[in-house]
Amino acid sequence: EAQVTQNPRYLITVTGKKLTVTCSQNMNHEYMSWYRQDPGLGLRQIYYSMNVEVTDKGDVPEGYKVSRKEKRNFPLILESPSPNQTSLYFCASSRGWVNTEAFFGQGTRLTVV
C-alpha cells in the first residue's frame, strides 16, 4: 500500500531535549516536505527536499533541521525544542513539485513543555 509513515504520532517533551520525527515513503517519490499546522494558520512549509542530499528552507525553518540521505526517508530534527514549536506536524511526498498531488503522513502532534 502506498503510504507516508511518520513516527511518533504523539510526543510530549521538555524544552531543550533534542528530538527527531521520522518520515518514510514507499512510493519512490523525489519530492518530500515538512509542514506545521497551527490554529488559524494554513499548513506552513518548514523544509523541503527535491531529491537525495538536496534540501532547502521553506517558510518557517527556524529551529528545525532535516536530512535526506536516502530517497525514502526525510527526518525532521529539533535540536533544542521550545514551546513555540508545539504544533501538529505533517510530512508529505509527491512525484513532482507543484503540479502533482501530495501524499501526507498521519501527522505528529508535538507538545514542548
CB-nearer residue toward another protein: 1 or 40: 40
Contact in structure between 108 and 8 (CB atoms under 8 Å):
yes
How many residues contact another protein, by CB under 8 A? Answer: 24
Q: How far is CA 30 from CA 54, 55, 88, 93, in A?
A: 10, 11, 24, 8
- Of 42 and 69, which has the nearer Cβ to another protein? 42
**Locus of grid cell 511526498:** 93
- 95 burial level (CB within 10 Å; 0-12, 13-18, 19+): middle
Report the residue from 24, 32, 47, 48 that binds another protein according to the rule CB under 8 A.
Answer: 48
Question: Which 51-110 positions form the footprint of another protein (CB under 8 A)?
Answer: 56, 58-59, 90, 97-107
**Site residues (CB under 8 A) for another protein?**
4, 35, 40-45, 48, 56, 58-59, 90, 97-107
